[in-house]
Amino acid sequence: MRSIRPSTCFLLVVAIFAWPLALRAHEGHGGKEVGAFDLDAPRQVSPETAAHIGLKTAEVDFGPVEDTLALSGFVRAVPDRHWTISTRTAGKVIAVHKQVGDTVRRGELLVEIDSPELAKLMLDVVRGEGRIEQLRVEAKNADETALLAEAELRRVEAAGESAVPLNVISERRAAALRARGEARLKAVDLEVTVKEVAVLKQQALRWSRDVVGAEADSKSLEPSESQPVNLLRLVAPADGVVVERSAQPGQWATAGEPLMAVADHSVMQIEGELPESLISRVVSRSSDAVRVRTPADPKYLGAGRIKFISPVLDQVKRTAHVLIETPNEIGTLRSGMFVDLTIVLREEKTAVVVPASAVVQYGPMHFVFIKSGEFFKKQDITPGLSNDQAVEVLAGLAPGDVVVTQGAYSLTQLRPKAPTALAMATPAGIAAPRKP
């Protein structure tokens, strides 16, 4: 048996490993076999491959670019736009007019409660108003009595001591003083009672019609068949959505017990953590714009503004708490959702820019693919400012160049045409595999 020379074994091993590499080379560049990987070699892409990788191009032009900072945060409802509906007095729930998820308008009726305490308070108001009328009559009579006494005193004083005894004048003077004093006491009593009843009315008004930020007059306190004196009505404090409900008909509700919650999610608050090393950049920013994105909806792009940066650092994480307020008219953002934030620090109005998706980073290098006829050529660039949307190009491109804006990374995975590459990789004396 003939022995196999070591050189021959080496060639066989090379051939075994070379054939799979050659066979894996695909035909996405004009239908011909491709060779060894070369990042700098021009690429020619067939229409089928271009459609498969979603290849898109655009001309380089001047445009704005921003210096940005990326953070993450989570969404929560604005505290001032979340209201807990509760009763100020104990009573029995007789009707609940809204369910969780219902949209409500400001002043719309939510819950009705039969309150014995409200009925007692209304009775005190009625008694107080009766007492006021009584005191008004007494005060008027006391004032008229004082006027008569003072008139009598003036008459006897005008007659003189020669016609009227001195003791009679003294008696008239004392009577006038007593009458005037009683009139003043009645006036004071009337004033105090009026104020007391006004306080009772305000309390009854708050109990009978719980309105936050809305004006209500005393007419709502007048008993009627449609609204008994013991009926406590809880209404929506603002436009919003019912997010919680614990009230049930027949339930006995105590004072301060939460019965329902209404929230306005048209504006949301995002909380984030700003690292200590980046605080100075954010504080000295010239823009107040913040872009909001959510992984749950890649198409969503919201706009916000920084509302507050905490002056106190977290001692463990070494971060400052940041609050960002953002509109949420369409309701994409929900409380508890995680979002990606892009804080705009400053903006360059006129710069040579390309979309961020056009730039490929390979180690320390940054490059794009320029379209030249039917080929796509790699072009190194020097990047400047960059954000989540665009990259400033300081060198390497000029306005008018056509660059790949979508599918640039996929181009790096395609191999250029090299018809002789397979032959070069095949060892001498071993035939290259034929195409079927």
Residue 2 sits at φ, ψ, to 5 deg, of -75, 140
Residue 292 resides in a domain: yes
271 has a pLDDT exceeding 90: yes
Indicate the range of 150-159, 269-278, 310-319, 334-343 predicted with least confidence: 150-159
Share of the chain above pLDDT 70, in %: 81
**Mean pLDDT on 404-416:** 82
Q: Are 296 and 284 in contact (CB under 8 A)?
A: no
Q: Per this entry, what is the length of the chain? A: 436
pLDDT at residue 256, rounded to an integer: 86
**Mean pLDDT on 358-384:** 87
- Quick one: which H or E segment has residue 135? helix 116-159
**Exposure letters 363-398 (e unless 16+ CB within 10 A, then b):** eeebbbbbbeeeebebeebebbbbbebbbbbeebbe
Residue 374 resides in a domain: yes
Torsion angle (degrees, nearest 10) of CA 184, 189, 192, 198: -120
pLDDT at residue 338, rounded to an integer: 94
pLDDT at residue 200, rounded to an integer: 86
pLDDT at residue 416, rounded to an integer: 66
pLDDT for 60-69, tens place per residue? 888 777 778 8
204 has a pLDDT exceeding 80: no
10 has a pLDDT exceeding 80: no
pLDDT for 226-251, tens place per residue? 556 678 888 888 899 999 999 999 99
pLDDT at residue 18, rounded to an integer: 45
**Look-up: residue for tokens 């940054």?**
366
pLDDT at residue 242, rounded to an integer: 93
Token code pair at residue 207:
């109990």
Indicate the range of 207-216, 382-391, 394-403 predicted with least confidence: 207-216
Residue 400 sits at φ, ψ, to 5 deg, of 105, -25
Residue 67 resides in a domain: yes
Q: How many Cβ atoms sit within 10 Å of the Cβ of residue 69?
A: 17
Under DSSP, is residue 58 helix (H, G, I), strand (E, B) or coil?
strand
28 has a pLDDT exceeding 70: no
Token code pair at residue 384:
């400047």
- The DSSP annotation for 99-111 comes to -TT-EE-TT-EEE
398 has a pLDDT exceeding 50: yes
CA count, 13 A, side-chain hemisphere, 264: 15
pLDDT at residue 313, rounded to an integer: 93
pLDDT at residue 30, rounded to an integer: 43
**Angle of CA points 268, 263, 252, to nearest 5°:** 155
**Look-up: residue for tokens 């969780």?**
100
Torsion angle (degrees, nearest 10) of CA 124, 255, 108, 264: 140
Q: Are 401 and 60 in contact (CB under 8 A)?
A: yes
Token code pair at residue 284:
């000295």
Q: pTM value?
A: 0.53
pLDDT at residue 355, rounded to an integer: 87
Rounded Cα distance, 83 and 99, in Å: 15
218 has a pLDDT exceeding 80: no
Under DSSP, is residue 263 helix (H, G, I), strand (E, B) or coil?
strand
pLDDT category at 225 given cuts 50, 70, 90 is very low
How high is the mean pLDDT of the chain?
80
**Mean pLDDT on 279-303:** 89
Domains identified in the chain, total number: 1
Rounded Cα distance, 329 and 247, in Å: 29
The residue among 59 and 326 whose pLDDT is bigger is: 326
Q: How many Cβ atoms sit within 10 Å of the Cβ of residue 73?
A: 22
Residue 289 resides in a domain: yes
pLDDT for 116-167, tens place per residue? 887 788 888 888 889 999 999 999 998 999 899 888 888 888 877 777 788 8
**Look-up: residue for tokens 């992984």?**
295
The residue among 366 and 32 whose pLDDT is bigger is: 366
pLDDT at residue 228, rounded to an integer: 65
Residue 161 resides in a domain: no
**Mean pLDDT on 47-73:** 85
Rounded Cα distance, 304 and 322, in Å: 12
pLDDT at residue 292, rounded to an integer: 94
Residue 433 resides in a domain: no
Residue 382 resides in a domain: yes
Residue 388 resides in a domain: yes
Share of the chain above pLDDT 90, in %: 26
The residue among 427 and 281 whose pLDDT is bigger is: 281
Token code pair at residue 38:
């070369």
Q: Are 275 and 121 in contact (CB under 8 A)?
A: no
DSSP 237: S
Domain range spanning residue 324? Answer: 56-77+266-406
- Non-local CB neighbours of 81 within 8 Å, separated by 6+ positions: 238, 240, 263, 264, 265, 266, 267
pLDDT at residue 5, rounded to an integer: 54
Rounded Cα distance, 154 and 163, in Å: 14
pLDDT at residue 252, rounded to an integer: 92
Spatial CA neighbour of 393 closest among 92, 23, 29, 59: 59
Strand ranges, E, within 295-364: 297-313, 319-327, 338-355, 360-362
Question: What is the identity of the amino acid at 417?
Answer: K
Q: Are 143 and 112 in contact (CB under 8 A)?
A: no
Q: Looking at residue 339, which CATH number applies to its domain?
A: 2.40.30.170
pLDDT category at 428 given cuts 50, 70, 90 is very low
CA count, 13 A, side-chain hemisphere, 207: 27
